[in-house]
Chains A and B, each alone.
Chain A
Amino acid sequence: MNPRGAGESREPSRPRRSRRVVAAVVAGAVTLGLGAAAIPRPPSLSTEVSGDEALIQRVRDELPTGAFDRLAVAVVDGDEVARAEFGTATGPGAAEFEIGSVTKTMTASLYALALQRGEVQRDSTLGELLGVTGDASSITLEELATQHSGLPRLPADLPFVGRLLLANLSGADPYDVDVDALVGQASRADVDDEKAYGYSNVGMALLGQALAAAAETPWEQLVAERVAEPLGMVDTYAPGDPEGLRPDAPSGSTATGRHADAWTMRAYGPAGSVRSTLDDMVAYAVAQRDDRAPGVIATEPLVEAGDGGGEIGWAWMTTPREDAEGEGDEGGTDDASGQGGTSTWHNGMTGGYASFVGFDRDSARSVVVLSSSAVSLDGLAFDLLEDAS
């Protein structure tokens, strides 16, 4: 091949030709250098490792494919806590994680507490508390808390779909509406008349904002005062918006290793915006397991959650342990060795984080998994939760 096509120009003089060749080689070398400098550097699991050797090894062995960076796992048996930390996750200077939809369990706790305080009733409606109109106006808080509201999983309006698509590419937080806009979305929403189980971020956001309206207190403040402070969770907070993030709040990465912005979620905060640390989430999970968390009644299963045999309380999911399935003769939850039982749990995922909090009261085990990468670790979490001896 020749870089000059037929009839393009006359032949240059020899010195000019030489200068051009040198310029071409330099340009090619610069391009190559810039390309090499920009070589992708996906995050890799932090080499700053501490904790229980056996658990660390198990986490390494069971980690799925993905771009991991910081990862914190805790398994609590009774009072004994085993940790596996990749990157600083506990103690002074611990870096926080987004807990994603585990936040819904805190909104559920707030619902239980609001009922106790008489601020709301189970049959209080979105129309009464938030001024929602249309089909959604008659949805009750109880339906929202048990994910039986008939609302869609995500807002169905075109602007949100556009933001979601853009966010998938850019790593931005797709939830940027205020409470008025959320109420508008709810008022325009199509509500499924059957109101079967249907996981809904819209529903849980509305529940949180309805509780805030009833208490005349921002939902973020309710989380701080009624859930975090009573359990001493000093590093747990809901930012509300990007300005509410603490200084040096870290961000995570997508499953492919790209940067993901912090999800503060604005009015959708009650569905997934809380940030926390391993210490705090261990305290939270153990308090739920030991029946002493504020609003712990939220963990009690109330209704079926789909066809998988699971149940849901207020946000908390309850599923029979896999090792007990088909072995018991009364509901399949107790086998001959006494290994049966149920796992009560919630998982979470944002643009750059994945999380899991669960416990089994029969085995007195709690498990917390927090990762700064949007790769689900539910498999690892359930394995850890269900192999309690």
Chain B
Amino acid sequence: MTWVPAVVVSVLAVVTTASFVLSAWSEKEARRARSRVDLLAAALNSAVVLVLLHQLLPWSSVPVALWLVPVLLVAGGVVGAVLRWPGLPWLRPDRARWRVVSGAAVEVVVAIAVVVVLVVL
């Protein structure tokens, strides 16, 4: 992997995991998760980018301690998600059920594909 894709994956990892933290902790309407499915999707996205980061970054040329940055962000997101979880409905009331379910299904399929290609195969 050349440096350009490595930088892209790194930025993607930080942005995605930071978004998870915001969705769990933010009070702003635009950023916070408004359903449990939102929280799960954000957590799943974070897990997927961690896998990408783990598998695609040239770690022999990068300080491995940097790995802990997105991990800390995800851990922070998990803490916030557990605290917020009981107060959230499963689905957003302002969004059609089919849309939520299909979006979640796509995310799960993408996550499985990433894990299969990068880890299992």
Contact = CB atoms under 8 A, between A and B. Distances in A.
A31 interface: yes
Nearest to B50: A35
B27 A31 contact: no
A31 B86 CA distance: 20
A41 B83 CA distance: 33
Overall SS of chain A's interface:
loop
B87 A38 contact: no
Contacts of A255: 1, 58
Interface in B50-64: 50, 54-61, 64
B108 interface: no
Contacts of B75: 28-29, 31-32, 35
B117 A8 contact: no
A82 interface: no
Size bin of chain A's contact surface? 35 or more
B74 interface: yes
Contact of A27 (B50, B57, B78): B78
Given A36-B68, A67-B58, A67-B60, A21 B83 contact: yes
A42 B60 contact: yes
B26 A170 contact: no
B78 to A, nearest CB: 5
A330 B118 CA distance: 54
A57 interface: no
A337 interface: no
B86 A28 contact: no
A308 interface: no
Contacts of A4: 83-84, 87
B60 A9 contact: no
Contacts of B32: 5
Interface in A300-339: none
A65 interface: yes
A1 B27 contact: yes
Interface string B8-39: 00000000000000001111010010100000
Contacts of A171: 121
A44 B61 CA distance: 11
Contacts of A8: 84, 87-88
B103 to A, nearest CB: 21
Contact of A28 (B55, B68, B78, B88): B78
B72 to A, nearest CB: 7
B7 interface: no
Nearest to B56: A256
A28 to B, nearest CB: 4
Interface in A234-279: 255-258
Contacts of B1: 255-256
Contacts of B25: 1-3
A39 interface: yes
A23 interface: yes
B58 A20 contact: no
Interface string A66-78: 1110000000000
Interface of A: 1-6, 8-9, 12, 20-21, 23-25, 27-29, 31-32, 35-36, 38-44, 65-68, 166, 169-172, 255-258
6 contacts: A23-B82, A39-B64, A40-B54, A40-B64, A256-B60, A257-B59
Given A41-B64, A65-B60, A256-B58, 8 more contacts: A3-B24, A5-B32, A12-B86, A28-B75, A32-B72, A172-B121, A256-B1, A256-B60
